[in-house]
Amino acid sequence: MAETPTISELFKAKEISEEEIDTAITDYVAGALDEFVVFADIYRVNMAAAVQAHPQLRDRAHDPDASEFLKRIAVRTALMLARPETL
């Protein structure tokens, strides 16, 4: 069985849009995010789990002294490395 592609790979293949990624990141950083984010109506990612999977990124994303820019970069990196579930 083939391994599920990462969000980054799906983005490069143009299956997921920049707008979808940006919205997920914005919502996560703002704290207004449901557990799962759906991309392209066929993939879903647990954003909290994606960020928690990478300790350095988790620490940066939740650092009260970090700028919003640094938090967004941390969350984006975690998201791009995530392997979504297929709906």
Q: How far is the CA of 9 from the CAs of 5, 83, 85, in angstroms? A: 6, 9, 14
For 31-69, what is each residue's pLDDT tens digit?
A: 876 689 999 999 999 999 999 999 999 999 999 999 999
What pLDDT, in 10s, does the model give residues 5-41? 999 999 999 999 999 999 999 999 998 766 899 999 9
**DSSP code for 66:** S
pLDDT at 41: 96
SS3 40: coil
Contact yes or no for 75/25 (Cβ under 8 A): yes
For the record, the structure tokens of 3 come out as: 């391994």
What are residue 33's phi and psi, to 5 degrees? -125, 135
**Where exactly are the structural domains of the chain?**
7-86
